[in-house]
Amino acid sequence: MSVYEDWIKKAFTDEGKSVEPIWNEYLPKEQKIYEYILEEKVTEIKGTIKELGKKFDMSIEHMVAFVDGINDILPNPYKMDELDDNSDIEIVIDFEKLYKKMVEYKAEHLFTLPQWDNVFTEAERKVLFSQQKMARTVVKGDKIGRNDPCPCGSGKKYKKCCGA
């Protein structure tokens, strides 16, 4: 079983619900890493899982969980099942993508960190927040009435053509 699979097994029940004590231990550590990244404007983190775990005072599983959380915004995402304590990691941080991903995940404790002031102005954050919220909004087109002309261009009524 991989480190990632071990993490998933501990962090979630068989029904897919979060195991609160595990997350209560992990989330403050994750937040400290993001505070450091934002405060120092770190754009790249390199090392093995084991080295990064020591640097950020995290277990191997927690470090793999961190990589999993940021994996979607990386230029070269990792296959999580293949990571172990000696895996070399290169995390390249795009602050705009990171902010939008935090908004998408509804991680208010992360996208409201005061350290974002070092990266974006409040106005820029509002724009990014709006862009992310709009990206998730589904806009349906006008509904075709049964007696309307068919959109395929046949000249027939929709009910006699594509709506039949």
Contact 75, 43 (CB under 8 A): no
Q: What pLDDT is stored for residue 69 in this prediction?
A: 94
pLDDT in tens, 88-101: 999 999 999 999 99
Q: What pLDDT is stored for residue 140 in this prediction?
A: 72
- Which residue numbers in the chain have pLDDT < 70? 136-139
Q: What pLDDT is stored for residue 134 in this prediction?
A: 85
**DSSP secondary structure, the chain, as one string:** --HHHHHHHHHB-TTS-B-HHHHHHHHHHHHHHHHHHHHHT--EEEEEHHHHHHHTT--HHHHHHHHHHHGGGSSS---GGG--TT-EEEEE--HHHHHHHHHHTT-HHHHT-GGGGGTS-HHHHHHHHHHHHHHT-----PPPPTTSBPTTSSSSBGGGTTT-
